[in-house]
Amino acid sequence: MKKKQICITAILCLCIMTCWLTGCHGGEPSYDDRLIAADSLLRDNDPDSALQLLSGIDGSGLANSGDRAYHALLSTQASYRCYAEITSDSTIDVALDYYRSHPEEQEKLTRAYIYKGAVSEVLGDPETAMTYYKLARSNAAISDHFNLGYANLRIGYLYRDFLVADSANITHLKAALHHFEQVPDSFYVVICTSTIGNCYWAINNSDSASAYLEQADTLAKKLQLRALEQTNLVYLADMKMYGPDLHNIEQAKDIALSLLSSKDCPDDEREQLLLTAAFTLAQLNKVDSAKLFLKQVDKSNLNDGLRVFYHRCHAELARCSGDFDQFKYHFKQADEIADSLVTNDMQRQLRDVEAKYDNETLRYEALKYKTNWQLLLLGSLLALSLLAIALLAIARKAAQRKRQISDNQDMIERLRNDAARLSSQLAANREMSDSLKTTIRHQIDTFTHLVEIHYTQFTSHPEKFSTLFQKTYNANQPDTSFWSNIRTYADSTCNGIITRTLENHPSLNESDVRFLSLCCCDMPTMVVMVCMGYNDVHSVYNKKRRITAKLGPGVRLDDYILQFK
């Protein structure tokens, strides 16, 4: 009997050890084949197909928590890379919670950190985004070059767009470039190289900017990445057409002509390219050719910034022809448009602020009128209460009657104090209106003074103007009512566009609302860039694309605003 028990015990121990060893050496967990296929599509830079595949999978119906977490991670990654609308971080939190409790899934935990940061960035919380990007970088394996590269790329973008205005972002972008070269991943190598070039341009290092942008252009052509190639070429043309170097001006002219002759020339950049071609040809004294391109410009399709450029082109042609009257005329027109871009908007904003506080005064008047009626009603109720007390006085003690009368008298005193306080608030509000008028007047004078001092001096160097304007703007930064005034003005002139947009698209964050308000006020790209704290126009265009994606498919931001106007 004892031998039998010993045998059974030995068999049980053997089974337990076998299960333990199997658990320790079981290798990677098994995932749903559809999820593995979607992950492969994402690694092959095909997020659209991955998102389509994932949309057909019910995440809650997957077999286990590992598959559900994997589905949440891939869905967030595909949605972000397809510019799909992201309104909360609940989906990525499913993945993050799971992989934090399964640290052996190191690569997926790194990705969960990255896309938690990306979602935080979309939701308007750059500080939280930076925290998760750095967590991703510290968690990644040394050999995980792709995720290390992508985490550094996102940190570089954050430094560029939100946190600092110096070259700190270039360090992170170069680190990202190094890791993508180790993978190797040619697509992201082009993106890093192009972005580094743009950042060097923003800090006025034209030699390094030119070197990186030309390298990015060569790589984009080799990989047949047409969209990236066109973007790099537009940046190169903008950079090279200013200054005395005829070789650079010639290159800018060639780039503009090449893009204009391309069958897939982007419509939203056509007018700018026509003006670039005209301006560079005029600088090269090819007056007839410059006029030919200038005639093709659709003046009705020019924003305020391009209208300034349009008159600059005419001024340059007049200078080449020796017609100094026309030169002065067009130069003056360009300056007046540039001045009015800030001054007129601020004057309209002032009028709107005045109307706003007039409305507030009327509201407080109505409140005062309502309070008087409340006092009358309460007085009537008090009289009825005193009558009731008198009728019940026979059955009550004298002390109780005195206490009730005293309580009612205290109530009357409090009501009188409330009425006096409301009157005091109303008087203070009137004084506040005059004070705000003075403040907004100071804002107008500040912007006007900045433009008059710096714009003409740096007409041929907009990047220098932007840097100097930003420093002076920070030193004279308006008070906290500036953004609320801009938003109020946008609502009043565009039939409540901000209020109605937030009702229909609650995913818009505070940064999106500020950007949309500036666009509704017809601010030029340079002023939008300065007001949002960006260092280059690329960030403005990128922000516009993200807001457009949130508004829905097939929507252009300019057309959307025009509907309300």
* CB-CB neighbours of 501 under 10 Å: 24
Angle between helix 398-454 and helix 462-475 axes, rounded to 10 deg:
150
| Closest C-alpha to 178, from 164, 188, 168 | 188
Instruction: Summarize pLDDT for 318-362 with one digit per residue, the tens.
Output: 777 777 777 778 777 777 776 665 444 444 443 444 444 455 556
**Residue 381: how many other CB atoms lie within 10 Å:** 12
- What pLDDT is stored for residue 118 in this prediction? 93
Considering the entire predicted model, what is its pTM? 0.47
DSSP state of 29: P
**pLDDT tens, position by position, 511-559:** 889 888 888 887 777 777 777 877 777 788 888 888 888 888 877 888 8
As a whole number, the mean pLDDT across the chain is 75
pLDDT tens-digit map of 443-486: 545 654 665 566 556 555 555 655 666 665 565 555 567 788 77
* Segment 263-271 mean pLDDT: 67
Other Cβ atoms less than 10 A from the Cβ of 77: the count is: 24
List pLDDT tens digits, range 379-432.
Answer: 888 888 888 888 887 877 767 767 767 776 776 676 566 556 545 544 544 444
Question: Could you tell me which residues come within 8 angstroms of residue 448 by beta carbon, excluding any fewer than 6 positions away?
Answer: 339, 342, 343, 346
Burial 128-160 (b: 16+ CB within 10 A, else e): bbbebbebbbebbeeebbbbbbbbbbbbbbbbb
CB atoms within 10 A of CB 109: 24
Task: Out of 153-162, 273-282, 459-468, pick the least confident.
Answer: 459-468
Query: Mean pLDDT lowest for which of 73-77, 455-459, 490-494?
Result: 455-459
Q: What pLDDT, on the 0 to 100 scale, is given for residue 180? A: 93
Sequence-distant (≥ 6) Cβ neighbours of residue 419 within 8 angstroms: 371, 372, 375
Whole-number Å distance between alpha carbons of 413 and 415: 5
